[in-house]
Amino acid sequence: MSALTDLRIGETAILVALDLPESVQNYLMHMGFVPNAMVTALRRAPAGDPTVYGIDGMEIALRRETARAIRVKGTGGSRVTGPFDQESNYRELAEAIR
């Protein structure tokens, strides 16, 4: 088990628990952060915080402090690629510049 902040962009994990105050837990649970939900790290702000996560068809930005308190378990190395995969896009851009 690890923290949501451990996901790299494009990785998906299964939500296990929210170690947050009850009011914050309730708010996030209403937005889909419930046990066994699949959550994907989609993109990060240029400064690294917040990170946008995809869950239940929605995109939700969470600050590192909040995401650190959300426990997830891996899905066996599942990695999503696409236009929102910033790490891949940066590598491609760097190669194009060279």
The enclosing H or E element of 24 equals: helix 22-30
Residue 15: alpha-carbon gap to chain centroid: 10
The pLDDT of residue 80 is above 60: no
What domain range is 32 assigned to?
2-97
Widest Cα–Cα separation across the chain: 50
pLDDT in tens, 22-69: 999 999 999 999 999 999 999 999 888 999 999 988 999 999 999 999
Structure tokens at 7: 């996901």
Contact 44, 52 (CB under 8 A): yes
SS3 57: coil
How much is the pLDDT for 5?
93
CB atoms under 10 Å from CB of 61, counted, come to 15
The CATH number assigned to the domain holding 48 equals: 2.30.30.90
* pTM assigned to the model: 0.73
Kindly tell me the sign of the dihedral angle through the C-alpha atoms of 32, 30, 7, 43: positive
